[in-house]
Amino acid sequence: MTTMERIRRLLVEKLDLRAEMIVPEATLDSLGLDSLDKIEFMFALEDEFNIKIEDRNVKINTLMDGVEVIDKLIAAKHA
């Protein structure tokens, strides 16, 4: 399963979004996530991928941004 597929599954399961809305260029705001939803989503990403996302160093606006950040964190962890 790709990073995007795992993110899509999380958004569907945890935030009850429709899968067809979840495309790589979608922004978190366009998906209707409020501040609390975004925080919960970040925690879910950390749990799902067994990573730590440092807020001050990361800007995730689109889902593709999230994929890139997660893939980099995973690569760094395994390096």
Selecting among 16, 34, 55, 71, the annotated active-site residue is 34
Q: Per-residue pLDDT tens for 23-62?
A: 999 999 999 999 999 889 889 999 999 999 886 667 778 9
Output the pLDDT for position 38: 87
Output the pLDDT for position 56: 67
Contact yes or no for 71/6 (Cβ under 8 A): no
CATH 1.10.1200.10: does it fit domain 3-78?
A: yes
Backbone torsions φ then ψ of 62, nearest 5 degrees: -110, 165
Output the pLDDT for position 57: 64
Domain layout of the chain by residue ranges: 3-78
34 carries an active-site annotation:
yes
Question: Would the pTM count as exceeding 0.85?
Answer: yes
* 70, pLDDT greater than 90: yes
- C-alpha–C-alpha distance, residues 7 and 18, integer Å: 13
